[in-house]
Chains A and B, each alone.
Chain A
């Protein structure tokens, strides 16, 4: 025993499916479609409340676009390293896989660190709390829930990283990594939207 006790369901690939597509991959895409509605509702809430706060601080007072650009860059790069991890695994390069997936997790954690730093600055320096106005409530909830998604992703990636040392990650089971990658890219895409709609639009006084 037992390198077979791994996350992948071995017999899954053995039988046919009606469309020829893998069940778990189909599940992941269904989940991502559903998660679009989840983030869509949160973003809609943010937009509907945009510019309606009765008191400050307002976005234009607190946002530090240069710093947030850096964290955005980090997250974008993490998507690239994720893709390289999957690519390495498919070519049988387990060492490459480990390097790239660890990099992805570290970059994800870095992004989270930026978020934590930003939240603390807002609260302690700018006196922007979730309670103070509509902007605070909607901003912290939206970005906080995104951050929670990133956190779950980092845990997932680290699990794959450590599992690879137990022989649990192989090219035959690359679907495990593919699924994590899809989730990770999605979380990145949501950030792309948040960065634009929350931060960049925040330039307008009156938002």
Chain B
């Protein structure tokens, strides 16, 4: 059966593309720039509560970049991404639920 041939593959940790050192460096620069923006935004008094969604988005971007490129999730099996993001999503939901229950958003 066709499913059988998909089972029991040999280990192939290196078959995927490997980003080059140059790419890694670019990601690093991006991370630094985003951090600089975050710190910059922090000092813009006029935004007030508005900085919260901005910071959340920016740090989410950093999180994603590290996960996709440094941790290779973009190039690896989707199973790894699913397992990791299951944890991330569940932790986020629990966190937000607790915040709501303790009237953080009030």
Contacts and interface: CB of A to CB of B under 8 A. Distances in A.
B12 A65 contact: no
A184 to B, nearest CB: 9
Contacts of A33: 83-84, 86-88
Interface residues of B, number: 52
Interface string B25-46: 1011001100100110010000
A34 B84 CA distance: 8
B28 A76 contact: yes
A90 B18 contact: yes
Q: Is the interface of A mostly helix, strand, loop or mixed?
A: helix
B92 A40 contact: yes
Interface of B: 7-14, 18, 20-21, 24-25, 27-28, 31-32, 35, 38-39, 42, 49, 51-52, 55-56, 58-59, 62-63, 66-67, 69-71, 77, 79-80, 83-84, 86-88, 90-92, 94-95, 98-99, 102, 104
Contacts of A131: none
Contacts, number: 152
B4 to A, nearest CB: 11
Contacts of A192: 59, 62-63, 66
A106 interface: no
A48 B104 contact: yes
A194 B30 CA distance: 19
